[in-house]
Amino acid sequence: MLQSTCQSDQHQFSRRRWLGTAAAGAAAVALPVFDPAVHAAALQRSAKQVLFIWLDGGISQLESWDPKPNTEFGGPFRAIPTSVPGIHVSELLPQTAQQMQHLAIVRSLCTQDNAHSSGVDRIQRGDPKDRGVVYPYFGSAVTKLLGPNASGLPPYVWIKPLSGGFMHKDAGFLGPQYGSLAFGDGKPPQNLLQHANVSDQSLQERMEIRAFADRQYARGRPAASTEANGFVYSMGLELMQRRQLFDESTFAPADVQRYGTHDLGRHMLLAKRMLEAGVQFVKVNSYGWDTHGDNFNGSWSLVRRFDQPFAALISDLAASGLLDQVLVIAMSEFGRTPRVNGHLGRDHWPEAWSLCMAGAGVRRGIAVGSTSDKGTWVTSQPYDIGHMFHTWFSALGINSRETAWDNQGQPLPIAHEDCHPVTELLS
Amino acid sequence: MWISSTATVTADDLAQRIDAVLQQSFAAAQVAPGPVSSDAEFCRRVTLDLAGRIPTVDELAKFLSDPDPQRRSVLADRLLDSPEHSQRMADLFHVMLMERRGDHPEWTVFLRTSFAQQKPWDQLVREILDPQESPEQIRGAAWFITRRLEKVGQQETDYPGLTRDIGRLFLGCDLQCAQCHDHLTISDYRQIEFQGLYTVYRNTSIRTDVKFPAVAEKPLTRKTDFMSVFDKQPLLVGPRVPFGIEHEIPQFESGQEFAVAPDRAKNFPGVPKFRGLRLIAESLPSAANRRFAENLANRLWFVMFGAGLVNPLDQLHDDNPATHPELLAAVADAVTAAGFRIRPVLRQIVLSQAYQRSSLGAAAGAVPYQYGQEKRLSAEQLLASVLTACGTGGPAATADAPAEAEQKRAEAFVKAFGNIPGEPELEFSPSLKAALFVLNDPLMQEQIQPGGGNLSERLLQNGDDIAVADELYRAVLSRAPAAEEVRFVCEYLGQRREHRQQAIGNLVWGLLASTEFCLNH
């Protein structure tokens, strides 16, 4: 009897309905009328994934992607050649330089905010026009727009030092269910471990009884509540059953050595496992990049600690072919001032800075944009974060010009309407 | 602002008025109202709304067998007079006013004694807006302000946030956008509405000379300068309730500002002669301030119907009319006529046909109030209902260190089912966090473990599977099981004769985790 009560295709259907259209926040994507070709494109799109590496505080572009050696503000580090002839990066990125054939560097970012408190939000929300609504962070936006994939895992996972838990802030007007599940210090959330008194068999039966009760309740009532409730229980069970994913003791020692035993190394390795398991959007945070004092010693250790796992990860994703579907982005809320302050530090500089991306539909082995000799100003066409949002959405197969949020009836652009995708970054 | 209807509504005929207005809207939409709720449906709904938990098996049985045609109003009156009602109101208003910013024992005392005494809302709000040191049971009211004055990390004290919450929670007006300029799309919300209040609250701080929550106020000597970020014209405003009259600031000679002088040695901040907090407390919560009554009306309606007449609850203004303007006027009139006592208004709502309609049969696209609505249960309602369903709410829970264990349990439920701090709890929003709590937390498993005469133990001792199904559904879902549900339970138990204890536990868990249990419907 019970076998017939809980068919997995019903779960799939319910999950799709919930994530796709039945959002409590009433924000849904305007999808075109059903068309087999479009449908196939949508399925392919939902296979796309994102790794978003956030270097909180502001990585210095001069000590990473846009070195200016032997200039007034260039600092002590050299520029080194990369695997792509003609593109040079800072000598603090020796391993990443060898992966340049997979990467795209943008050196012409020019953004609006030089404060951390507002800048982090602004950049990660794509700095939309202020309409009095709180836009979602990129992670919430992507998981909403791509719709659920087949993994059954939480779509938006955030790996970070310190505390974890369920983080709703990122979701903005999409509603709390589009927030992230944060793995504090890489550790999974509370209550993931099955209670000792409950056998696997019992757990299965409990879920089936719960599903039966919900089907009974849903008779003669709108399906939204039971679908939403069923969805979180299926996801909970999925997470419980795949908890070995988060168990660091199962990491191969060779991988741990390649990625590094420090926080960022461990977290990037965990991120790789999550991407392989199918998590749609993984954000990895690294803190402490705000080098107002002693920027050069600081960058020497910070940038190299980033270099090792980043290069390992790009190399692994490229080798497995996963890079074709995973968009990788490494960035901060702004860059750092070319002028060196009295504490041998660099301050906040949103005027001319850089980021690095790779994978999915991003062109490989290029450096886009340029800055003045001293690195002070953008000398090519400046790009705001809105241009990056358009570009990233495009790389994920989402038409950023035609897709709109539906915020309780109010159509809102998913990326700043004054910006556009940067075609030279797209393959 | 809504013009009050010509015939003033008293609290006593509100139920009729509600149904008359809705009848018109059904007629206009050419639909018939849905059927009246069954007795079991009503009993569960009203017990959750008024007593904050589901009914016990005995309470339900007594109600279902009561031949009195007036049994619904009798039940409502019994619930309204119960101590659990005061507790429920204290919990409800705690969540509404503090929005999960934690808890404070003195604040709890303030709310509990206030609702036990049926304190009118205007008086309660006055005590919050101008908190006094004595009597002791009301001094915790200060925590509304002091909690919001606490610094978070490196950030500045959030005076704008406190100002905004006064507007949101007591007037239904979110003046956030009016901090920096007149609201762009809401003509009622001008910058002066925000700045007049802000003048008062930016002058406050947390008293450090006493252990209980208390607010210090500096002498207010001059108006606030402000300018719109758009036209940059310098403006001035003194203390002013939004949409009200500005108060002049009296000038005192230096040293004469205080009614009670400060005492630096004791860190006592003194009491100024001219106090903005008192001005706001005197003029904001009053019958003359229609928005104050409308806000309470809209929030009580939300509590009982799961949606406000005006949505969002803090967007009361002319450009955002109520779904049923006559209803908002009628409830606001009733609130005022009742002298801001909440109980008679809730009673009238419960007696309305609108409240008593069944939620069964509702389809997408139904006309509002044609059917009963689903309402989110708070963490407090869920905990009390789990304990009631499992039969472990009584003496069994009071073993060793009962208060401490109960407190921990309550905190765990809030953590699992509550929203994040500062976010109002409005609609049903199941979360992975809550699901994992129900799946694996020992606090939930304890409830299912047979012992102490709890539900699982009673069911385990009952050899009759049909009777087990009956008691299970009555205890957890407050209704008799349907025929197919009895069949489901019997078949399941029949297949698991050797593992009956686990099977019973699984059944109890399955119903506790169901949507039907997690909602008021």
Q: Please indicate whether, in this complex, the C-beta atoms of A210 and B510 are within 8 angstroms of each other.
A: yes
CB-based burial, A393-420: b 16+ in 10 Å, e otherwise = bbbbbbebeebebebeeeebbbbbeebb
| Segment (H or E) for B271 | strand B271-272
pLDDT in tens, B390-446: 997 644 444 555 688 889 999 999 999 998 788 889 888 888 889 999 999 999 999
Residues of chain A positioned with their CB less than 8 A from the CB of B429: 24, 175-177, 228
Which pLDDT does position A407 carry in this prediction? 82
Which pLDDT does position B134 carry in this prediction? 93
ipTM exceeding the 0.90 mark: yes
Please tell me the distance from the alpha carbon of residue A148 to that of residue A154, in angstroms, as a whole number.
9
pLDDT band (50, 70, 90) for residue A4: very low
Which pLDDT does position A150 carry in this prediction? 83
Please tell me the distance from the alpha carbon of residue A298 to that of residue A302, in angstroms, as a whole number.
6
Q: Is B298 found in the same domain as B275?
A: no
Tell me whether strands B215-217 and A281-286 are parallel, antiparallel or unpaired: unpaired
For CA atoms B418, B96, A221, B51, give the dihedral sign: positive
> Identity (one letter) of the amino acid at A249?
S
Instruction: Evaluate if residue B454 carries a pLDDT over 60.
Output: yes
CB-based burial, B95-134: b 16+ in 10 Å, e otherwise = bbbbbbeeebebbebbbbbbbeeebbbbbbbbbbbbbeee
Q: Is A225 found in the same domain as A138?
A: no
Quote the minimal CA–CA distance from A222 to chain B in Å: 5
Q: Which residue has the higher pLDDT, B186 or B328?
A: B328
Q: Please indicate whether, in this complex, the C-beta atoms of A205 and B506 are within 8 angstroms of each other.
A: yes
Residue B185: helix, strand or coil by DSSP?
coil
Picking from B235, B206, B240, B234, the residue whose alpha carbon sits closest to that of residue B220 is: B240
Q: Is A119 found in the same domain as A96?
A: yes
Residue of A nearest to B442 (CA): A195
Which pLDDT does position A423 carry in this prediction? 97
| Burial status of residue A366 (CB atoms within 10 A of its CB: 0-12, 13-18, 19 or more) | middle
**pLDDT more than 90, % of chain B:** 82
CA angle B318, B425, B352 (to 5 degrees): 65
* Residue among A132, A199, A220 minimizing CB distance to B177: A132
Q: Is A198 found in the same domain as A280?
A: no
Q: Is B273 found in the same domain as B297?
A: no
pLDDT band (50, 70, 90) for residue A65: very high
pLDDT (average), residues B174-198: 86
Give the end of a domain, one of A206, A241, A276.
Answer: A241
* Residue among A175, A206, A235 minimizing CB distance to B506: A206
Residues of chain A positioned with their CB less than 8 A from the CB of B430: 225, 228-229, 231-232
pLDDT (average), residues A154-168: 87
Answer whether residue B372 is part of any domain. Answer: no
DSSP alpha helix (H) spans, B30-142 = 39-51, 57-64, 71-80, 83-98, 105-116, 121-129, 136-139
Please tell me the distance from the alpha carbon of residue A362 to that of residue A324, in angstroms, as a whole number.
9
Q: Please indicate whether, in this complex, the C-beta atoms of B511 and A1 are within 8 angstroms of each other.
A: no
Q: Does residue B319 belong to the interface with chain A, where contact is any CB pair within 8 Å?
A: no
Tell me whether strands A348-349 and A353-358 are parallel, antiparallel or unpaired: unpaired
Residues of chain A positioned with their CB less than 8 A from the CB of B503: 205
Please tell me the distance from the alpha carbon of residue B499 to that of residue B493, in angstroms, as a whole number.
9
Q: Does residue B445 belong to the interface with chain A, where contact is any CB pair within 8 Å?
A: yes
Which pLDDT does position A38 carry in this prediction? 53
Q: Is B409 found in the same domain as B302?
A: no
Q: Which residue has the higher pLDDT, B465 or A235?
A: B465
In terms of residue numbers, what domain contains A299?
A: 47-190+253-425
Please tell me the distance from the alpha carbon of residue A314 to that of residue A34, in angstroms, as a whole number.
36
First to last CA, chain B: 32
Q: Is B233 found in the same domain as B278?
A: yes
Instruction: Evaluate if residue A30 carries a pLDDT over 70.
Output: no
pLDDT in tens, A409-427: 788 999 999 999 999 999 9
pLDDT in tens, B28-86: 999 999 999 999 999 999 999 999 999 999 999 999 999 999 999 999 999 999 999 99
| Segment (H or E) for B431 | none
* Residue among A24, A233, A239 minimizing CB distance to B429: A24
Answer whether residue A40 is part of any domain. Answer: no
Strand partners, B498: none
Tell me whether strands A180-184 and A156-160 are parallel, antiparallel or unpaired: parallel
Q: Is B129 found in the same domain as B194?
A: yes
Q: Please indicate whether, in this complex, the C-beta atoms of A206 and B432 are within 8 angstroms of each other.
A: no
Give the end of a domain, one of B283, B302, B336.
Answer: B283
Give the end of a domain, one of B283, B301, B317.
Answer: B283
Q: Is A183 found in the same domain as A321?
A: yes
Please tell me the distance from the alpha carbon of residue B239 to that of residue B443, in angstroms, as a whole number.
50
Answer whether residue A247 is part of any domain. Answer: no
Which pLDDT does position B278 carry in this prediction? 97
Q: Which residue has the higher pLDDT, A33 or A86?
A: A86
Q: Is B235 found in the same domain as B121?
A: yes
Please tell me the distance from the alpha carbon of residue B119 to that of residue B273, in angstroms, as a whole number.
28
- What's the pTM? 0.81
pLDDT band (50, 70, 90) for residue A118: confident
Q: Is B348 found in the same domain as B272?
A: no
Q: What is the CATH number of the domain that holds A160?
A: 3.40.720
Instruction: Evaluate if residue B4 carries a pLDDT over 80.
Output: no
Which range has the worst mean pLDDT, A89-98, A165-174, A339-348, B10-19? Answer: A165-174
Task: Give the strands of the sheet with A165-167, arranged side by side.
Answer: A165-167, A180-184, A156-160, A281-286, A49-55, A326-331, A353-358, A103-109, A366-368
Q: Is A237 found in the same domain as A104?
A: no
**The CA-based dihedral angle spanning residues A39, A41, A47, A50, taken in that order and rounded to the nearest 10 degrees:** -130
Q: Is A278 found in the same domain as A175?
A: yes
pLDDT in tens, B82-117: 999 999 999 999 999 999 999 999 999 999 999 999
Identify the residue among B229, B436, B498 best suited for mutation to test binding to A, counting A beta carbons within 10 A and taking the highest: B436
Q: Does residue B510 belong to the interface with chain A, where contact is any CB pair within 8 Å?
A: yes
Q: Which residue has the higher pLDDT, B463 or B6?
A: B463
pLDDT (average), residues B496-517: 97
Which pLDDT does position A41 carry in this prediction? 60
Which pLDDT does position A42 carry in this prediction? 59
Which pLDDT does position B393 carry in this prediction? 61
Which pLDDT does position B396 carry in this prediction? 43
Q: Does residue B150 belong to the interface with chain A, where contact is any CB pair within 8 Å?
A: no
Answer whether residue A42 is part of any domain. Answer: no
Q: Please indicate whether, in this complex, the C-beta atoms of B510 and A212 are within 8 angstroms of each other.
A: yes
Q: Is A214 found in the same domain as A183?
A: no
Q: Does residue B315 belong to the interface with chain A, where contact is any CB pair within 8 Å?
A: no
Q: How many domains does chain A have?
A: 2
Identify the residue among B370, B438, B445, B514 best suited for mutation to test binding to A, counting A beta carbons within 10 A and taking the highest: B514
Picking from A243, A241, A234, A235, the residue whose alpha carbon sits closest to that of residue A7 is: A234
Q: Which residue has the higher pLDDT, A368 or A28?
A: A368
Instruction: Evaluate if residue B363 carries a pLDDT over 80.
Output: no
Identify the residue among B506, B511, B519, B521 best suited for mutation to test binding to A, counting A beta carbons within 10 A and taking the highest: B506
Q: Is B279 found in the same domain as B299?
A: no
Instruction: Evaluate if residue A137 carries a pLDDT over 80.
Output: yes
Residue written as token pair 């264990």: B405
Please tell me the distance from the alpha carbon of residue B385 to that of residue B379, in angstroms, as a whole number.
10
> Identity (one letter) of the amino acid at B312?
P
CA angle B302, B308, B313 (to 5 degrees): 100
Q: Is A101 found in the same domain as A85?
A: yes
Q: Is B167 found in the same domain as B145?
A: yes
* Residue among B445, B485, B502 minimizing CB distance to A195: B445
Give the end of a domain, one of A182, A211, A241.
Answer: A241
The whole-chain average pLDDT of chain A stands at: 88
Which pLDDT does position A48 carry in this prediction? 96
DSSP label at residue B246:
B
Please tell me the distance from the alpha carbon of residue B252 to that of residue B237, in angstroms, as a whole number.
19
What are the backbone dihedrals phi and psi of residue A378, each rounded to the nearest 5 degrees, phi first? Answer: -80, 130
Which pLDDT does position A196 carry in this prediction? 87
Q: Is A418 found in the same domain as A324?
A: yes
Which pLDDT does position B7 carry in this prediction? 47
Q: How many domains does chain B have?
A: 3
DSSP label at residue B421:
T
Answer whether residue A110 is part of any domain. Answer: yes
Which pLDDT does position A419 carry in this prediction? 97
Give the end of a domain, one of A241, A266, A301.
Answer: A241
Residues of chain B positioned with their CB less than 8 A from the CB of A217: 514-516
Answer whether residue B311 is part of any domain. Answer: yes
The whole-chain average pLDDT of chain B stands at: 93
Please tell me the distance from the alpha carbon of residue A196 to that of residue A211, in angstroms, as a whole number.
23
Answer whether residue B220 is part of any domain. Answer: yes
Q: Is B309 found in the same domain as B245?
A: no
Q: Is A353 found in the same domain as A391?
A: yes
Question: What's chain A look like in SS3?
Answer: CHHHHCCHHHHHHHHHHHHHCCCCCCECCCCCCCCHHHHHHHHHHHCCEEEEEEECCCCCHHHCCCCCCCCCCCCCCCEEECCCCCCEEECCCHHHHCCHHHEEEEEEECCCCCCHHHHHHHHHCCCCCCCCCCCCCHHHHHHHHHCCCCCCCCCEEEEECCCCEEECHHHHHHCHHHCEEEEECCCCCCCCCCCCCCCHHHHHHHHHHHHHHHHHHHCCCCCHHHHHHHHHHHHHHHHHHCHHHHCHHHCCHHHHHHHCCCHHHHHHHHHHHHHHHCCCEEEEEECCCCCCCCHHHHHHHHHHHHHHHHHHHHHHHHHHCHHHCEEEEEECCCEECCCCCCCCCCCEECCCEEEEEECCCECCCEEECCECCCCCCECCCCECHHHHHHHHHHHCCCCCCCCEEEECCEEEECCCCCCCCCHHHEC
Q: Is B275 found in the same domain as B319?
A: no
Question: Which residues, numbered 331 to 350 in chain B, qualify as contacts with chain A under a Cβ-Cβ cut-off of 8 Å?
Answer: none
Answer whether residue B368 is part of any domain. Answer: no
Instruction: Evaluate if residue A333 carries a pLDDT over 90.
Output: yes
Q: Please indicate whether, in this complex, the C-beta atoms of B440 and A175 are within 8 angstroms of each other.
A: no
Residues of chain B positioned with their CB less than 8 A from the CB of A166: 431-433
Question: What's B5-22 look like in SS3?
Answer: CCCCCCHHHHHHHHHHHH
Q: Is B232 found in the same domain as B135?
A: yes
**pLDDT more than 90, % of chain A:** 69
In terms of residue numbers, what domain contains B487?
A: 379-520
pLDDT in tens, A201-250: 999 999 999 999 999 999 988 888 898 899 889 989 988 988 888 888 88
Residues of chain A positioned with their CB less than 8 A from the CB of B507: 209
pLDDT band (50, 70, 90) for residue A44: low
Q: Please indicate whether, in this complex, the C-beta atoms of B427 and A24 are within 8 angstroms of each other.
A: yes
pLDDT (average), residues B355-359: 97
Residues of chain B positioned with their CB less than 8 A from the CB of A118: none
Q: Is A208 found in the same domain as A153?
A: no
Which pLDDT does position A126 carry in this prediction? 96
Q: Does residue B177 belong to the interface with chain A, where contact is any CB pair within 8 Å?
A: yes
Residue of A nearest to B432 (CA): A232
Q: Is A301 found in the same domain as A348?
A: yes
Identify the residue among B311, B429, B446, B496 best suited for mutation to test binding to A, counting A beta carbons within 10 A and taking the highest: B429
Answer whether residue A38 is part of any domain. Answer: no
Q: Please indicate whether, in this complex, the C-beta atoms of B515 and A214 are within 8 angstroms of each other.
A: yes
